[in-house]
Amino acid sequence: MRIPSLLVLIGLLLGCSQPEARKPVVRKTSSFMSESIERNKILTKAENQLIQKQMEEDSLHTYLNSEQGFWYYYEKKDTSDAPMPDTGDQIVFNYEVRNLAGQVIFSEEELGPQSYFVDKEELISGLQDGLKLMRERERVTFLFPSYKAYGYTGSERINPNQPLIYKVELIKVNKLTDNEKN
């Protein structure tokens, strides 16, 4: 009887001792980050080669290189002083989305006219930047690498890391006053 009582007493003493603090888990992310950076460099280089090939095969158009990391050409350029959108302006535009092989992913008819408050609503970053390069009544074709479109996640009909062609027509720019923009 002494042994079981002694075991119970030892169990209680050990069970009531202060818990030992957990030491923080140290994870070295430098290798993960380095590998991720290298993968992205390779991916970006491959996409840029595909886009360059696309532009070389299209001898009918002269492509411009944007400062934001995409390429474009004007199908219809307006040389008048038609308005260009500024942050907060409301615009109406049509567009369609194609893959680099030219197959339609989203048609202009399917999407319909889009209303957008410049830089106040969500759009893919390439389209946000591209619309600000346009004048009312212009039609522009943009070549967006995946990082300016849907990136590594893709979307319902768009594959991850897929460069895209956007054909955009800026229909109307509604210039808003500073009071209306806020």
Query: CATH code at 87?
Result: 3.10.50.40
Q: If you search the block for the tokens 């039609």, which residue do you land on?
A: 139
How many domains does the chain contain in total?
Answer: 1
Question: Among 180, 166, 80, 83, which Cα is nearest to 132's?
Answer: 83
Look at residue 82 and tell me if it is in a domain: yes
pLDDT at 97: 98
Q: What is the mean pLDDT of residues 79-99?
A: 94
pLDDT interval class at 98 (50, 70, 90): very high
Whether residue 14 is predicted with pLDDT greater than 70 in this model: the reply is no
Does any domain span residue 34?
A: no
Host domain of residue 78: 62-181
Q: Residue 176 falls within a domain, yes or no? A: yes
pTM for this predicted structure: 0.79
Kindly tell me if the per-residue pLDDT of 26 is higher than 80.
Answer: no
What pLDDT digit, counting tens, does each position of 132-170 carry? 999 999 999 999 999 999 998 999 999 999 999 999 999
Is residue 37 one of the residues assigned to a domain?
Answer: no
What burial class does residue 23 get, using C-beta atoms within 10 Å of its C-beta: 0-12 exposed, 13-18 middle, 19+ buried? Answer: exposed
Asked if residue 115 is part of any domain, the answer here is: yes
Question: Is 90 exceeded by the pLDDT of residue 174?
Answer: yes
